Amino acid sequence: MTKIVVAVKYVPDATADRTFSADNTVDRAGVDGLLSELDEYAVEQALQVVEAGEGEVVVLTVGPDDAADAVRKALQMGADAGIHVQDDAIHGSDAFATSAILAAAIEKVGDYDLLFFGMASTDAGLGVVPTLVAERLGLPAVTYASEITVDGETVTIRRDGDVATQEIEATGKLVVSVTDQTGEARYPSFKGIMAAKKKPVEEWTLADLGVDAASVGLDNAWTKVESFEPRPPRTAGEIVTDEGDGGTKLVDFLASKKFV
Amino acid sequence: MTEVLVLIDAPDGKVTKPSLELLTIARRIGEPSAIVFGSADNGVLAEYGAEKIYTYDDSAYSDYLVGPKAEAIAQLVGETSPAAVLVAASTEGKEISARVALKTQAGWIGDAVDVQADGGTITTTQSVFAGNFTVQSQITQGAPVISIKPNSTAPEAVAGAGAVEAKTADISDAAKTAKITSSKEKAASGRPELTEAAIVVSGGRGTGGDFTEVEAFADSLGAAVGASRAAVDSGWYPHTFQVGQTGKTVSPQLYVANGISGAIQHRAGMQTSKTIVAVNKDDEAPIFELVDFGVVGDLKAVLPQATEAVKQRKG
């Protein structure tokens, strides 16, 4: 019996025009959102672990009203239950405050075995929340897992790094972040979509978690965004059509910039 | 001047270029102190400005994940009260630094592309939303812990004292629960490391699965080879070389995209490159919106000719 909590994030669609709000936070209202694509791989791996044995997948998100969509998508894929932490005080929370809220929610769940995350979000994309949650819970984190095998109490994970491929073995509670190399995530089936409507979704506030509202949110962050600016548009470059001399022209350009 | 702690990465003792960049950036803030787990070429560290070199020697640092290193650095922060802690924005660097920030109750910045110090105030610059925005931030609590992307500055040699101090740290049992049971080194390609390279030449769907021309052109320029997600997903090139949102983010002096359309996922990984060049058969490929120079044509014809032209110029 393995109980896996998968933390997921509701993000602005990466193909839309993403921007910032007046208070220098990511604009999450003006853009359509969805379950972060990279979190689908974590949900998929959790489902596969549970399907290979026995267990339960609980999906957890922290975010505004619309973040319920991310939970619903994971339930449609096959997760058993959802938790949505929502509180007005959370707006503007950075990765550190978010990790505190997630850690408190995970402690409230209590009887979990494994914690799965996507490798990074598709908006901020720092990939640091899994590590921070692990640090707060006093757990090891195996990040960027390419392959996960659970055998009884032992979890074996393959990580494909830049210089080496590592194999890591752990027993006991563990945080794992999952890459897109673990395998395609399933699409919700019609049956899955219907079944998701009956699955329980708990709604928790900061008070339910015993998290002090004064420790999270924009005003209490340990870092402060002073300003942001759009990257200056690239000035249109020179485009030539290859008429048998494209390679030569390319190198002429590189030479003019002293790359050759 | 206060100390600035700099985590050094030195596989097989050889100090990496991003580590030297960190030492250069540290000098803008205070006196660089290098932190070395295992051993590094101390001469090089002193040459690039390290006043002190803290060395840690314990098998725990290599047998387990980042836990022991993070504990050691957090203890050193408590001892030395540094002005900042700088690490490279690698996978491991980000994990170590985030844990250190939490342990020392300090603000953390990930993936900075620039760090400036004005008096006691440190301002960092990050590039976000696929490189479409830059964001300036300051840290409001604790000694800033900053992870910095490779190629954020050019390393400058300025001699430091390089005084070596051997240290030990108390490692908790909790930091030793996930053990690295095997580590297989990947075969070296003989090319520069993708995220550190000054020039990156990459290939996508347009290669049709054959990277011969892309690799030959890269080698003529002494460049690293990258690949688009389409090429990696097709099994044409290993994932380690993927440039884009779910792969590496690169910011070289020159990026050459061959047979890559330039979808948002790919742009996220290369848009901050200084000079961008593309070769693509499709004159409407979005990559051409980004380029300083583009060739509409077949890479199978353009690249071999370009490779020859480079060789001729280099004589």
- Search chain B and give the residue with CA nearest A222: B107
- Specify the higher pLDDT residue, B107 or A26: B107
- Search chain B and give the residue with CA nearest A12: B129
Of the candidates B90, B239, B302, the beta carbon closest to that of A250 is on B302
Of the candidates B98, B308, B313, the beta carbon closest to that of A131 is on B98
Alpha carbon of B156 to those of B26, B47, B160, B227: distances in Å? 11, 9, 12, 31
Yes or no, beta carbons of B177 and A171 under 8 Å apart: yes
Q: Which residues of B touch A228 (CB under 8 A)?
A: 128, 133-136
Q: Which residues of B touch A247 (CB under 8 A)?
A: 295, 301-309
The residue among A173, A8, A156, A179 whose CA lies nearest residue A82 is: A8
Of the candidates A144, A168, A169, the beta carbon closest to that of B91 is on A144
**What is the distance in angstroms between the Cα of B44 and the nearest Cα belonging to chain A?**
22
Do B107 and A223 touch, CB atoms closer than 8 A? yes
**What is the distance in angstroms between the Cα of B31 and the nearest Cα belonging to chain A?**
23
Yes or no, beta carbons of A250 and B133 under 8 Å apart: no
pLDDT at B89: 92
- Specify the higher pLDDT residue, A101 or A230: A101
3-state secondary structure of A12: strand
Average pLDDT for residues A66-75, to the nearest whole number?
A: 95
Measured distance CA(B31)–CA(B43) in Å, rounded = 17
How many A×B Cβ pairs under 8 Å?
A: 252
B159, amino acid identity = A
> Which residue is listed with tokens 């030990």?
B168
Q: Which pLDDT band, with edges at 50, 70 and 90, does B159 fall under? A: very high
Yes or no, beta carbons of A168 and B179 under 8 Å apart: yes
- Search chain A and give the residue with CA nearest B183: A166
SS (H, E, C) A29-57: CCCCEEECHHHHHHHHHHHHHHHHCCEEE
Q: pTM here?
A: 0.87
Provide the CB-side half-sphere exposure for B9 (13 A, CA): 21
Do A170 and A142 touch, CB atoms closer than 8 A? yes
The residue among A175, A139, A2 whose CA lies nearest residue B177 is: A139
Do A36 and A121 touch, CB atoms closer than 8 A? yes
Residue B238 reports pLDDT greater than 80: yes
Burial code of B25-47, b = ≥16 C-beta within 10 A, e = fewer? Answer: bbbebbbbbbbbbbebebebbbb
Least confident of A26-30, A77-81, A243-247: A26-30
pLDDT at B120: 82
**What is the distance in angstroms between the Cα of B289 and the nearest Cα belonging to chain A?**
7
Least confident of A51-55, A235-239, B35-39: A235-239
Measured distance CA(A130)–CA(A202) in Å, rounded = 22
Measured distance CA(B57)–CA(B169) in Å, rounded = 10
Q: Which residues of A touch B302 (CB under 8 A)?
A: 242, 246-247, 250
Q: Strand B254-258 to strand B275-280: parallel, antiparallel, or no bridges (unpaired)?
A: parallel
Chain A contact probe: residue of B295, B296, B308 with most A CBs at under 10 A: B295
pLDDT at A99: 96
B54, amino acid identity = Y
Yes or no, beta carbons of B94 and A255 under 8 Å apart: no
Residue B186 reports pLDDT greater than 70: yes
pLDDT at B264: 86
- Search chain B and give the residue with CA nearest A39: B246
- Specify the higher pLDDT residue, B129 or B191: B191
Q: Which residues of B touch A254 (CB under 8 A)?
A: 221, 254, 277, 310
Burial code of B60-76, b = ≥16 C-beta within 10 A, e = fewer? Answer: bbeebbbbbbbbbbbbb
Yes or no, beta carbons of B305 and A141 under 8 Å apart: no
Beta bridge partners of B116: B123
Q: Which pLDDT band, with edges at 50, 70 and 90, does A225 fall under? A: confident
- Search chain A and give the residue with CA nearest B122: A223
pLDDT at B296: 97
Beta bridge partners of A35: A10
Other C-beta atoms closer than 10 Å to the C-beta of A41 total 25
Give me the residues of A, 170-229, that contact B with CB < 8 A: 170-172, 174, 179-181, 221-229
**What is the distance in angstroms between the Cα of B305 and the nearest Cα belonging to chain A?**
5
Structure tokens belonging to residue A147: 């392959």
Residue A97 reports pLDDT greater than 70: yes
What is the full DSSP assignment across B238-283?
A: -GGGBBSTTSB----SEEEEES----HHHHHHHTT-SEEEEEES-T
**Global ipTM:** 0.87
Provide the CB-side half-sphere exposure for B39 (13 A, CA): 4
Share of chain B above pLDDT 90, in %: 77
3-state secondary structure of B119: coil
Yes or no, beta carbons of B275 and A259 under 8 Å apart: yes
Least confident of A140-144, A221-225, B19-23, B300-304: A221-225
**What is the distance in angstroms between the Cα of A199 and the nearest Cα belonging to chain B?**
31
Yes or no, beta carbons of A239 and B294 under 8 Å apart: yes
- Specify the higher pLDDT residue, A1 or A256: A256
pLDDT tens digits, B216-236:
999 999 999 999 999 999 999
Residue B274 reports pLDDT greater than 70: yes
Chain B contact probe: residue of A223, A225, A228, A243 with most B CBs at under 10 A: A223
Of the candidates B108, B183, B288, the beta carbon closest to that of A239 is on B288
Of the candidates B178, B239, B277, the beta carbon closest to that of A250 is on B277
Residue B1 reports pLDDT greater than 70: no
Of the candidates A95, A125, A238, the beta carbon closest to that of B293 is on A238
Mean pLDDT of chain B: 93
- Search chain A and give the residue with CA nearest B314: A260
Residue A134 reports pLDDT greater than 90: yes
The residue among B220, B219, B239 whose CA lies nearest residue B229 is: B239
DSSP state of A91: T
Is the minimum CB–CB distance between A165 and chain B shorter than 8 Å? Answer: yes
Mean pLDDT of chain A: 91
Alpha carbon of B216 to those of B32, B261, B291, B308: distances in Å? 40, 21, 22, 10
Which helix (DSSP H) or strand (DSSP E) does residue A106 occupy? Answer: helix A95-109
The residue among B65, B67, B64, B114 whose CA lies nearest residue B89 is: B114
pLDDT tens digits, B48-69:
999 999 999 999 999 999 999 9
Measured distance CA(B127)–CA(B274) in Å, rounded = 13
Phi-psi region of A173 (alpha: psi -120 to 50; beta: other; left: phi over 0): beta
Of the candidates A126, A181, A237, the beta carbon closest to that of B292 is on A237
- Search chain A and give the residue with CA nearest B93: A128
**Phi, psi (deg, nearest 5) at residue B255:** -125, 125
pLDDT at B280: 97
Residue A15 reports pLDDT greater than 80: no
